[in-house]
Homo-oligomer: A and B are copies of this chain.
């Protein structure tokens, strides 16, 4: 739980938006084709469409978010779903309150 490393990830409008969108997938994304829920989050393609950036850029962003623990990937067939990691998100906010 490194405040500086997580802050770097949050220092970008798109990545902050992704985190916000993942709070309410039903409201922000169309339903998936292969499954009828968002229990494991949202697939990369939908996040890409919503963000309006290239596929490689979004994939890179999601990797960065995953590397610091903000999101969790789950593979379903050829799709990767990403969901929020509430534990790390809350730990980060708590750490900020104590360490900045």
A100 touches B4 (CB 8 A): no
- Does A33 count as interface, using CB distance less than 8 angstroms? no
Per assembly, the copies of the chain total: 2
Chain B residue at smallest Cβ distance from A94: B93
Assign chain A's interface to a size class.
Answer: 10 to 19
Contact residues of A with B, CB < 8 Å? Answer: 3-4, 7-8, 10-13, 16, 19-20, 89, 93, 96-97, 99-100
Which chain B positions have C-beta within 8 A of A20? Answer: 99-100
CB pair A13–B4 under 8 Å, yes or no, is: yes
Q: Which residues of the partner chain B approach A99 to less than 8 Å between Cβ atoms?
A: 16, 20
Chain B residues whose CB sits within 8 angstroms of the CB of A97 once the complex forms: 93
